[in-house]
Amino acid sequence: RIMRLISIFNTRASRLVEKGLPVKKIMDRLGDIIPEIIRSKATIKNNELQKYDELERKLNSAFDSLEKEVSSQ
């Protein structure tokens, strides 16, 4: 599940960079999510896998917001 989150981050961040959004802006907006993903291996227990779903929703929501900003410019 962690690899899925990393893959989502990588794919969506790459698309935004291709559209001209600076990496700094992506990191400013999503920088707090990266440590959560890294810590998730240690903090999410086997019986709490729904927390990965919550983390994925949070990640996608942040990217959706950034994509709307880029589209409106």
| Alpha carbons 60 and 40: distance in angstroms, whole number | 17
What is the pLDDT, as a whole number, of residue 40?
92
What is the pLDDT, as a whole number, of residue 43?
92
Say which residues have a Cβ less than 8 Å from residue 73's Cβ, sequence separation at least 6.
none
Is the pLDDT reported for residue 46 higher than 80? yes
Is the pLDDT reported for residue 35 higher than 80? yes
pLDDT tens track for 2-26: 999 999 999 999 999 998 899 999 9
pLDDT tier at 70, thresholds 50, 70, 90:
confident
3-state SS, residue 39: helix
Q: Rounded mean pLDDT of the chain?
A: 92
| Alpha carbons 36 and 49: distance in angstroms, whole number | 14
